[in-house]
Amino acid sequence: MKTIAIDLDDTLNDFTVTLRRAEFVRDADGPYSEAVFADYLAKVRAGAAEPSELLSTEYSFFRAKIHLQCYARAAPRADGVAFMRWLRAHGWRIVICTYRDLRRAHAATKAWLTAHDVPFDHLFMAGNKIVFCRAWGIAHLVDDDVFNAVHGERYGVQVYYPHGERHAALAPNGARGFAAFAEIIPWIQK
């Protein structure tokens, strides 16, 4: 059976746009003052890394809560959903492969996929999607991450990425950028 791995955030949905534009309301009875809430939200929107070596901090908890809201609110790419349905109709095994912490976001992720009628067979969290694809024998990966675009071909994984700002500076490599998901279809039929 033909298998393909597909990313969610900024590939099948508009996560970053949602994160930057959505209104997030501070709970007046919550643990954060207005100043801390505003500071943490600005850091989350800027993609700031965890400032501590601890696995869980007040900031990482805040970031996880904001991300959960974005996971639910992010709009799907209509052409991405159509592509997923095309894959299903043509007998592909579909693996959703995400950086999301599925220990915290599994239910929200499945709810979003179900709400938008996105077909899939497996849902996995992977820190290194190239290694994941190699281990599973998956030859095709649709993902917006620059690391995967740069290194996929070297390890036998063909990467397709949606054109974005961060891809403009990419050196020539074996990955293929696309404006519309339909462009991928002839590439994977070979």
Encode pLDDT of 8-20 as tens digits.
Answer: 999 999 999 999 9
Model pTM score: 0.91
**Higher-confidence residue: 124 or 53?**
124
Q: Where does residue 91 fall: left (phi above 0), alpha (psi -120 to 50 degrees), or beta otherwise? A: left
**Cα 134 from Cα 127, distance rounded (Å):** 13
Which domains, from first to last, does the chain contain? 3-13+75-188 (3.40.50.1000), 15-73 (no CATH)
172: left (phi over 0), alpha (psi -120 to 50) or beta: beta
pLDDT value of residue 85: 98
> What is the per-residue pLDDT for 16?
95
In 10-124, alpha helices (H):
15-21, 34-46, 58-73, 78-89, 102-115
Residue among 84, 97, 92, 94 at smallest CA distance from 124:
97
Q: Residues in the chain, how many?
A: 190
Of the candidates 66, 86, 76, 75, which has an alpha carbon nearest to the alpha carbon of residue 19?
Answer: 66
- Residues 34-79 pLDDT 10s: 999 999 999 999 998 877 787 788 898 899 999 999 999 999 999 9
